[in-house]
Structure 1
Amino acid sequence: MQPGVVKIADENDFNMLRTLMDDHTDWRLKYYKQTEAHMKIWTKPTNTCNFRMVKVHAFFPGVRPNTVFDVLHDPAYRKFWDEHMIDSKDIGYLNPTNDVSYYALSCPPFITNRDFVLQSSWLNKKDEKLILNHSVYHKDYKLKKGYVRAISYITGYVVRRIDGGSFIGYISQSDPGGKLSPWIVNRIAHIVAPKIVENVRKAVDGYAEWKKAQPNPTFKPWLNPEHALLSPQVRITDCVP
């Protein structure tokens, strides 16, 4: 998957995510702490851009992969755990396991807020869940005043059932756009990435009760194709600049 390219994700794309997550060749281990989460953080330079790829591995004891998968997907719940989210919109679906969305996030003071248009693709297996995102274009979500359009080369999650809980892997490489120094961005990235994983871990605990209280608690388009098809369909021609 490449930024700007809209296509239905296939097995090759998900195998690429698995390889990045599991193969540590040329990755530099930046952090490892033997806490309950056993969190490890790596970074890796690439030829894609000046911004490093960052990878996080963690263990969520007593947590089911299905719950993590729900939390990562549910846009209504995200505003309760994603402290940086300003806005999020479901633009529509390409097929029941590929959709396009808009996401805007807040930045520190004196830095312009960023936004993304993203294609998300996912694969849901019994003991392994994969989510793969990258930036795309959509005709109805052009540059917006007050924001800098950022580019996600890849953002991915791998969630696996393991003894006693769940493994979660997170990987990201983004160009925030604007005039931010790559040195500063690279330094911040390996601090922000584990914070995202920690926030997901906290969010998992409250999800089931929150979902039960919703008007339609069984509505999960990421699991049920018939729910996904209730959204507008995105045409490939809408995603060509």
Structure 2
Amino acid sequence: MNDPDTVLPADDNNFQDFKKMCESVDGWSECYNKKNVCVSTSLQSNSNLKLLKAVTSFNDCSAATIFDVVHDTEYRRKWDHDMIDMKEVCKLCVNNTVSYYAAKCPPPVKPRDVVFLSSWIAYPNMRDPKEYLMINRSVSHVDFSPRNSMVRAISIVTGYLIRPTGPNSCEFTYLTHFDPRGSLPKWVVNKVAQFFTPKVIHRIHKAARKYEVWKRKHNASYKPWLWPEQCRLPPCKPGQLSARFDEVEIIDETGLKDENGTNGDDPADVSDDEI
């Protein structure tokens, strides 16, 4: 019998369960639909945080390019302007790696960070993929304990389903159930997620349109998410990882007031200058 604290690689059941959530239609409430991005939320019986799903299609980017963009850590430093830091830490196996990610939040909210297991697969295979899946979930690592300057968040499940619709087009689904922890009012968490998600989708799209040109100049042949023999990460050592989430101090961020609407520009309006 497996120790519940043991971190195991994702298996076919995990990927299929994630795909079913992406494809489900019952129990979702649409909260945003503009510029070809539809965002919906679903109430969860075991959480007061909503499951969120964003669905779109790209008619000028291949599924393979989108898959590369969401994997390429070095390129992410160029387009993810909220990122403070990201490190790839170790690997469980060829398609399961552990990473650390820290990101800015709008003031007065403190920055968040997360340690997560990233798992990916292509069906039926990488040579002739009909769909790509990538899923992330939080883990803890002995070398990445919570920091005083950050709030350690939890990714219950976050990921992507990418399906080619042509040689240079694809369908893209982003799904996340994410707990930023701290003591933020849950209405803040749900509202920010609904507003911020379309901006992330549009940034990924714009980044993908520039990726091939950028990649040709930056270690063009290095894609360890496609070619595992290139992976330079050390194997995870016994005792380094745990499925148990880190204990964190509750930080008071409850002074935020609810307002009608969300301040700021339309989340779909992301200029190319931002990439």
Same fold at TM > 0.5: yes
Task: Render the CA deviation track for 1:202-238: whole Å, top value 9, x for unaligned.
Answer: 0001111111111x2211110011012x211113521
The 1:46–1:89 alpha-carbon spacing in structure 2 relative to 1, beyond 3 Å, is same
- Conserved? CA contact 1:4–1:135, under 8 Å: no
Q: What amino acid is the match of 1:194?
A: P
Question: Which of structure 1's runs of 4+ aligned residues deviate more than 2 A?
Answer: none
Q: Distance in 2 between matches of 1:19 and 1:239?
A: 28
User: Residue in 2 aligned with 1:10?
Assistant: 11
Question: Which of residues 231, 236, 240 is equivalent to 1:234?
Answer: 236
Task: Render the CA deviation track for 1:27-71: whole Å, top value 9, x for unaligned.
Answer: 1122223x4xx3211101113322111100001002111100000
Following superposition, the deviation at residue 141 of structure 1 comes to 0.2
User: Residue in 2 aligned with 1:200?
Assistant: 204
SS at 1:45 equivalent = strand
Q: Distance in 2 between matches of 1:8 and 1:48?
A: 24
How many residue pairs get aligned? The number is 234
162-171 or 94-103, which moves further after superposition?
Answer: 162-171
User: Residue in 1 aligned with 2:149?
Assistant: 146
User: Residue in 1 aligned with 2:122?
Assistant: 124
SS at 2:49 equivalent = coil
Identity of aligned residues (%): 35
Is there any run of 5+ residues in structure 1 with no aligned partner, and where? none
Say yes or no: does 1:54 pair with 2:70: no
User: Residue in 1 aligned with 2:140?
Assistant: 137
Q: Give matches, 1:74-113, under 5 Å.
A: 74-113=72-111
- Conserved? CA contact 1:65–1:127, under 8 Å: no
Q: Distance in 2 between matches of 1:72 and 1:39?
A: 18
Is there any run of 5+ residues in structure 2 with no aligned partner, and where? 124-128, 245-275
Task: Render the CA deviation track for 1:136-157: whole Å, top value 9, x for unaligned.
Answer: 0000000112001000111110
SS at 2:41 equivalent = strand
Q: Distance in 2 between matches of 1:60 and 1:4?
A: 39
- Conserved? CA contact 1:94–1:235, under 8 Å: no
Following superposition, the deviation at residue 171 of structure 1 comes to 0.5
Say yes or no: does 1:173 pair with 2:177: yes
Q: What amino acid is the match of 1:208?
A: E
Question: Which of residues 220, 226, 236 is equivalent to 2:223?
Answer: 220
Name the TM-score, length of structure 1 as normaliser.
Answer: 0.93
How large is the RMSD of aligned CA atoms in angstroms?
1.6
- Conserved? CA contact 2:39–2:198, under 8 Å: yes
Q: Distance in 2 between matches of 1:97 and 1:14?
A: 12
41-50 or 98-107, which moves further after superposition?
Answer: 41-50
Q: What amino acid is the match of 1:232?
A: P
- Conserved? CA contact 1:6–1:236, under 8 Å: no
Name the TM-score, length of structure 2 as normaliser.
Answer: 0.82
Q: Structure 1 or 2: larger helix share?
A: 1
